[in-house]
Amino acid sequence: MKLHAFRLPLSVFIFISVFLSAIQVNLPHPMLIAERFIKGGGWLEIIVIATYGAVVAYKMQNPVNVPYWRKVTWTLFSIVFFGQLILGLLGFEKFLMTGKFHLPIPMMILGGPVYRGQLSVMTILFLSTIVLTGPAWCSQFCYFGAMDNLASGSKPKKEKLPNRLAIKTTGILLVIAVTILLRWFNVPVLIATIIAAGFGIGGVIIMVLFSRKQGKMIHCLLYCPIGTLVNVLKPANPFRLYIDNNCTFCMKCTSNCKYDALNQDDIRKKKPDTTCTLCGDCLAGCHHNAIKYKYFSLKPETARRLYLFLTISIHAIFLALARI
Ligand code: SF4
Ligand code: SF4
Ligand code: SF4
Q: What number is the average pLDDT over the span 219-239?
A: 98
Cα 199-193-164 angle, rounded to 5 deg: 25
Q: What is the pLDDT at residue 93?
A: 84
Q: How far is the CA of 132 from the centre of ligand 1 (A)?
A: 17
User: Is the distance from CB of 151 to CB of 207 less than 8 angstroms?
Assistant: yes
Taking the C-alpha atoms of residue 220 and residue 160, their distance in angstroms, rounded to an integer, is: 15
Closest to 139 in 3D by CA, of 256, 284, 279, 303: 279
Q: What number is the average pLDDT over the span 227-248?
A: 98
HSE at residue 33, side-chain half, CA atoms within 13 A, is 23
Read off the pLDDT band of 88 (50, 70, 90). confident
Going by alpha carbons, the residue nearest to atom 6 of ligand 3 is: 253
Read off the pLDDT band of 1 (50, 70, 90). low
User: Is the distance from CB of 135 to CB of 278 less than 8 angstroms?
Assistant: yes
Going by alpha carbons, the residue nearest to atom 4 of ligand 2 is: 276
260 lines ligand 1 (CB under 6 A): no
Cα 191-194-196 angle, rounded to 5 deg: 110
Read off the pLDDT band of 101 (50, 70, 90). low
Domain count within the chain = 1
User: Is the distance from CB of 252 to CB of 195 less than 8 angstroms?
Assistant: no
Taking the C-alpha atoms of residue 17 and residue 53, their distance in angstroms, rounded to an integer, is: 10
Q: What is the pLDDT at residue 188?
A: 95
Taking the C-alpha atoms of residue 260 and residue 308, their distance in angstroms, rounded to an integer, is: 22
User: Is the distance from CB of 112 to CB of 122 less than 8 angstroms?
Assistant: yes
Q: What number is the average pLDDT over the span 176-183?
A: 97
264 lines ligand 3 (CB under 6 A): no
Amino acid at 71: K
Domain span including residue 234: 3-321
**Residue of 269, 288, 293 to test ligand 3 pocket, by largest number of atoms within 8 Å of CB:** 288
Q: Pick the range with the lowest mean pLDDT from 23-32, 37-46, 212-221.
A: 23-32
The model carries a pTM of 0.95
Q: Render pLDDT for 123-163 as a digit per residue (tens, 0 to 9).
A: 999 999 999 999 999 999 999 999 999 999 878 888 899 99
**Residue of 108, 125, 133, 220 to test ligand 1 pocket, by largest number of atoms within 8 Å of CB:** 220
Taking the C-alpha atoms of residue 215 and residue 154, their distance in angstroms, rounded to an integer, is: 6
H/E segment holding residue 52:
helix 41-60
Helix (H, G, I), strand (E, B) or coil at 301: helix
Query: Terminal CA-to-CA distance of the chain, rounded, Å?
Result: 42
252 lines ligand 3 (CB under 6 A): yes
Q: What number is the average pLDDT over the span 200-208?
A: 97
Instruction: Identify each DSSP E strand in the chain by its residue range.
Output: 240-243, 291-294
Smallest-distance ligand from the CA of 139: 1
